[in-house]
Amino acid sequence: MAAAIALGLYAEAPAIPGIPVGRMYPRVPSLPPNLSELLFTLGVGSVIWYAAIVSIPLLLLVARRVEWSRDKRVALAAGALAVFAALFLATAAIEFVLIYSLATSKPSFASYLAVAIRSDLLAWMAVAGIVVTLELRRRSAHAAVERERLRALVAEQRLVALTGQLQPHFLFNTLQGISTLIHRDPEAADEMLSRLSDLLRDLLKHRDSPMVSLHDELRYVRTYLEISKSRFSDRLDFTIDLDPDASSAKVPLFILQPLVENALHHGIGARAEGGSVAVRAKRTDSRIVLEVEDNGGGWSDTGDGVGLSNTRERLEAMFEDDHTFRISSNVSGGVTARIEIPVT
C-alpha cells in the first residue's frame, strides 16, 4: 500500500498549454454525453477488454491444472510472468495493427510499446490479480473440504476402534460368567451361550459402523441383560423404557453396554439380595437422553474403568462439547448414569 501511494505521488501529469501544472487536473475535460461513450472512455470495447474476457476463463483453467508447491515458487512466478508478458505483447501488437493498418505513416512497434504500457499493462495486472485471487479461493475451499473429510474419516476410524475395544472386554466378562455357571447350572450356561451367540451375530452386522438406531441399541442391551439374568438368576430384575419418538434416532453402537455392566458389577453384584436395573431412552426436542439406573449401594468415585473411560472418549470424539455424560448417586440409593446427545 505504501509503495502504491509513493508511486502515485511520484507520477506527474505532462505539461498541457493553458492548464496549470499539477497532478490533480481532470484527465477527461467533461463527462461523456451518453452511456456508450462513457463505457468506451472506461475501456469497454477495446482490444484489452475483449482479450481479458477471453483469457480469464482460459487462465483459470490453466491455473487449476498447475501444481502449486513451495519448491516450485520461483519457476511458477517466472512462468506466470512470461505468460502475462506474452499476452501484453500480443495485445499491443493487435492494437498496433488495428490502429495503424490504414495509416500512411506509422511509428515503430517498439515506440508504440510506451503507449501500450500505459493503456494495457495495468489491465493485465488486474487480470492476473483476478485469476490468482479466484484460484486461491478455490484451492482454499477445496483444502478446507479435504481437511474436513480427513478429520471425519479419522474420527470415524477412531470410533470404530474404540467400539472394537469394548467387544473383547464385554466378551471376556460374559465368558467368565458362562464358565462359572457351566458346572453349577449347565442349562443356564447353555442358554447364556446361545444368547451371546445371537448378540455377537447382531454386532458383527455393524462392525464397521459407529452408529446404530436406538431401537437396535436397546435390543442389544436387552439381550445383554437377559444373558446377565442367567448369571444372576432371581437376583436381577430389569426394565427397558423406549420413547417411540426416539426409536429411529442414531446413537453410538454399544454406548449403553458399559453403563449397564457398571450397574451390574458395582450396583447389583455386590449385594446378596441383588437389585434392579432400569434403562430409559427418550427424546426431548432435539436431544436424546439415555439413562441407566440401579438401586445398588451407590457410587464410589474410584475412577473410571475401561468401559466408562472408553464411553467418555467415544462421546468426545463424536460430539465434542455437544454432549453430557454424568454419573450420580441417587437419594434413595443406587446410581444413575445419564447421557445426553443431539439427535442425528
Question: Mind listing the pLDDT tens digit for each residue in 89-144?
Answer: 888 888 888 888 777 788 888 888 888 888 788 888 888 888 888 988 988 888 88
Distance, in Å, from the CA atom of 263 to the CA atom of 261, rounded to the nearest integer, reads 5
Same domain, residue pair 111 and 174: no
Q: Which of 225-229, 319-323, 336-340 tops mean pLDDT?
A: 336-340
Question: Is pLDDT larger for residue 6 or for residue 162?
Answer: 6
* Segments forming the whole domain that contains residue 52: 30-145
pLDDT(145) > 90: no
pLDDT(162) > 80: no
- What is residue 263's DSSP assignment? I
Instruction: Give the pLDDT band of residue 23 (cuts 50, 70, 90).
Output: very low
Question: Is pLDDT larger for residue 70 or for residue 130?
Answer: 130
> Which residue among 119, 145, 171 closes a domain?
145
Same domain, residue pair 330 and 288: yes
Same domain, residue pair 106 and 45: yes
Dihedral sign of CA atoms 24, 28, 30, 32 in order: negative
Q: What is the pLDDT of residue 110?
A: 84
Distance, in Å, from the CA atom of 253 to the CA atom of 40, rounded to the nearest integer, reads 68
Same domain, residue pair 132 and 162: no
Same domain, residue pair 296 and 249: yes
Same domain, residue pair 266 and 243: yes
Query: Do 224 and 199 contact (CB within 8 A), yes or no?
Result: yes
Tell which residue, 291, 290, 298, has the closest CA to residue 335.
298
User: Could you give the angle at which helices 122-184 and 73-100 cross, rounded to 10 degrees?
Assistant: 140
Distance, in Å, from the CA atom of 47 to the CA atom of 134, rounded to the nearest integer, reads 23
pLDDT(291) > 90: yes
**What angle is formed at CA 58 by the lines to CA 79 and CA 83, rounded to 5 degrees?**
20
**Matching residue, cell 497532478:** 23
Helix (H) or strand (E) segment spanning residue 314:
helix 306-319
Computed over every residue of the chain, the mean pLDDT equals 79
Same domain, residue pair 332 and 205: yes
- What is residue 50's DSSP assignment? H
> Which residue among 145, 170, 197 closes a domain?
145
Q: Is residue 36 part of a domain?
A: yes
Which string of b and e fits 50-86 if b means at least 16 CB within 10 Å?
ebbeebeeebeeebeeeeeeeeeeeebeeebeebbee
Q: What is the pLDDT of residue 230?
A: 74
Cβ-proximal residues to 81 (8 Å cutoff; 6+ apart), any chain: none
Secondary structure of the chain: what % helix, strand, coil (to 5)? 60, 15, 25
Q: Is residue 323 part of a domain?
A: yes
Q: What is the pLDDT of residue 342?
A: 93
Same domain, residue pair 287 and 215: yes
pLDDT(204) > 80: no
Q: Is residue 330 part of a domain?
A: yes
Segment 192-211 mean pLDDT: 76
Instruction: Give the pLDDT band of residue 157 (cuts 50, 70, 90).
Output: low
Question: Is pLDDT larger for residue 266 or for residue 39?
Answer: 266
Cβ-proximal residues to 296 (8 Å cutoff; 6+ apart), any chain: 263, 266, 267, 268, 270, 271, 275, 333, 334, 335
Q: What is the pLDDT of residue 42?
A: 65
Q: What is the pLDDT of residue 184?
A: 78
Question: Is pLDDT larger for residue 6 or for residue 308?
Answer: 308
Distance, in Å, from the CA atom of 305 to the CA atom of 266, rounded to the nearest integer, reads 11
Q: Is residue 193 part of a domain?
A: yes
> Which residue among 92, 127, 145 closes a domain?
145
pLDDT(64) > 70: yes
Q: What is the CATH number of the domain that holds 192?
A: 3.30.565.10
Same domain, residue pair 195 and 330: yes
Q: Is residue 139 part of a domain?
A: yes
Dihedral sign of CA atoms 26, 30, 31, 32 in order: negative
Same domain, residue pair 158 and 137: no
Question: Is pLDDT larger for residue 314 or for residue 340?
Answer: 340
Q: Is residue 11 part of a domain?
A: no
Specify the number of domains making up the chain. 2
Q: Is residue 162 part of a domain?
A: yes
Least confident of 61-65, 183-187, 216-220: 183-187
pLDDT(288) > 90: yes
Same domain, residue pair 124 and 197: no
User: Could you give the angle at which helices 47-65 and 122-184 cross, rounded to 10 degrees?
Assistant: 30
pLDDT(176) > 60: yes
Read off φ and ψ for residue 130, nearest 5 degrees.
Answer: -65, -45
User: Could you give the angle at which helices 214-232 and 186-205 cross, rounded to 10 degrees?
Assistant: 160
Query: Do 68 and 139 contact (CB within 8 A), yes or no?
Result: yes
Query: Do 311 and 258 contact (CB within 8 A), yes or no?
Result: yes
Distance, in Å, from the CA atom of 178 to the CA atom of 242, rounded to the nearest integer, reads 29
Q: Is residue 5 part of a domain?
A: no
Same domain, residue pair 101 and 158: no
